[in-house]
């Protein structure tokens, strides 16, 4: 069992995993999609068949909060206190009401295929089944090949166009780590070396078991909800485009992306523990603990980490919260909507829940 040395100075998780893990949680929707397409594109038909026939790797990981509670009770108490102060930090399933229109619902999701996540909280499946309309972050996930074809019209969002490669931007030792990490996921480095670092980060930050399930066509939660809706003849509305989501990532400095890729490589299998902890918090509905937990894994008073997170939060979380709330408002006013977006977008003073309340909706947690 991997142990973390939770201290106020340096420890094995001291290289800003908060940024990396938050990217994983907030943008996994896109990263899963792109990772899948890259895997498919990089494998020959025979290789793909052999890979799909292999048993999926077993998911592993330890809950880092359990370890923090034992190793550093004071810091654990601080995490819990910060989580308790987070507005709307309890619950992933919410009722949206407005006088004169049918009730709507909002579900925070994780963009993964984990059976615990796919189960959804009590009442959510029924609410989706009864809804008139379904809204998700991007309806482009319903036709992945078409979405990829569309993105390839803007290749500069996906890859370097000036001769740079990830091999020329990383030190040799990091390139070797990258090649090994990709090999574990049946992805040749040569097939992705021209891709932007945030895409490659997603490929290797994703647990191998999750990537294997996706390669075998297992739908992540958001896509499953959308597919069920299509099968039932319901309209599915996208709140963002893939291009908008990737543009938000591209707006962050390249140095920050490269640093995060290097940190992901250094962490290796420890990212499994981060994913497991986030999943456990999600299933428990303790979304408000996610960010404090991630910050507890970085050195205290790390100004560089704080600056990196602040930039990430502005571009990838807060701005998108406003986009989601604004674009869904008309659908909520019609009523009968079931909206499913990443759970990290729900809590906080500028989270989707508070933004909907400011638009005049009554929003209350279920369960």
- What integer pLDDT is reported at residue 46 of this predicted model? 44
Please state the rounded mean pLDDT for residues 317-344: 95
Per the domain annotation, does 347 fall within a domain? Answer: yes
The token duo for 275 is 């994913």
Give the Cα separation of 297 and 100 in Å (integer). 47
HSE-up (13 A, CA, CB side) for residue 274: 29
**Is residue 179 very low, low, confident or very high in pLDDT (cuts 50, 70, 90)?**
very high
Whether residue 316 lies inside any domain: the answer is: yes
- Which is it for the CA torsion 212, 184, 28, 248, positive or negative? negative
Measured CA distances, 192 to 21, 23, 197, 366 (Å): 22, 20, 10, 43
Record the tokens describing residue 73, joined without a space: 């009770």
| Residue 14, in any domain of the structure | no
* End-to-end alpha carbon distance in the chain: 33
Rounded to the nearest integer, the mean pLDDT of the chain is 83
Residue 277 within any structural domain of the chain: no
Of 154 and 340, the structure prediction assigns the larger pLDDT to 340
Residue 78 lies in a domain: no
Q: How many domains does the chain have?
A: 1
What's the sign of the alpha-carbon dihedral 18, 20, 23, 26? negative
Strands 133-136 vs 236-238: parallel, antiparallel or unpaired: parallel
Which of 29-33, 67-71, 104-108, 194-198 shows the lowest mean pLDDT across its residues? 29-33
Angle at 137 between CA 113 and CA 86, to 5 degrees: 85
- The tens digit of pLDDT for each residue in 160-173 reads 999 999 999 999 99
What range defines the domain where residue 52 resides? Answer: 29-58+87-269+311-365
Tell me, yes or no, whether 82 lies in a domain: no
The DSSP annotation for 237-261 comes to EESS-HHHHHHHHHTS-HHHHHHHH
- Judged against a pLDDT cut of 70, whether residue 288 lies above it is answered with yes
Does a structural domain hold residue 220?
yes
pLDDT at residue 12 is higher than 60 = no
- Within-domain flag for 36: yes
pLDDT over 70 percentage in the chain: 81
Rounded mean pLDDT, 297-322: 73
Q: What is the mean pLDDT of residues 137-141?
A: 89
Distance CA 353, CA 203 (A): 30
């Amino acid at each position: 069992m991997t142990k973390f040395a939770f201290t106020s100075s340096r420890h094995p998780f001291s290289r800003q995993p908060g940024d990396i893990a938050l990217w994983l949680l907030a943008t996994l929707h896109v990263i899963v999609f792109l990772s899948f397409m890259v895997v498919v594109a990089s494998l020959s038909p025979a290789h793909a068949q052999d890979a799909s026939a292999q048993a999926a790797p077993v998911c592993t990981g330890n809950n880092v909060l359990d370890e923090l509670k034992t190793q550093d009770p004071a810091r654990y108490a601080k995490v819990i206190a910060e989580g308790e102060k987070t507005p709307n930090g309890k619950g992933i399933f919410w009722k949206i009401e407005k006088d004169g229109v049918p009730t709507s619902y909002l579900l925070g999701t994780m963009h993964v295929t984990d059976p615990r996540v796919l189960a959804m909280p009590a009442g959510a499946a029924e609410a989706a089944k009864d809804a008139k309309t379904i809204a998700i972050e991007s309806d482009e996930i319903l036709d992945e090949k078409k979405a990829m074809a569309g993105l390839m019209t803007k290749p500069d969002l996906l890859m370097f166009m000036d001769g740079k490669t990830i091999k020329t931007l990383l030190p040799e030792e990091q390139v070797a780590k990258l090649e090994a990490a990709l090999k574990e996921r049946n992805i040749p480095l040569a097939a992705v070396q021209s891709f932007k670092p945030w895409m490659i980060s997603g490929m290797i930050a994703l647990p191998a078991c999750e990537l294997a399930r996706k390669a075998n066509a297992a739908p992540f939660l958001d896509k499953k909800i959308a597919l069920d809706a299509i099968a039932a003849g319901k309209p599915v509305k996208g709140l963002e485009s893939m291009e908008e989501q990737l543009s938000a990532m591209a707006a962050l400095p390249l140095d920050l992306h490269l640093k995060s890729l290097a940190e992901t490589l250094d962490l290796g299998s420890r990212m499994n523990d981060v994913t497991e902890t986030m999943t456990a918090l999600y299933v428990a509905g303790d979304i408000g603990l996610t960010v404090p937990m991630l910050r507890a894994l970085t050195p205290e008073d790390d100004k560089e980490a704080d600056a990196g997170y602040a930039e990430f939060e502005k571009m990838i979380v807060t701005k998108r919260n406003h986009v989601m709330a604004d674009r869904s408002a008309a659908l909520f006013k019609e009523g009968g909507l079931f909206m499913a977006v990443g759970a990290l977008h729900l809590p906080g003073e500028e989270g989707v829940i508070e933004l909907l309340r400011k638009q005049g909706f009554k929003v209350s947690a279920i369960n």
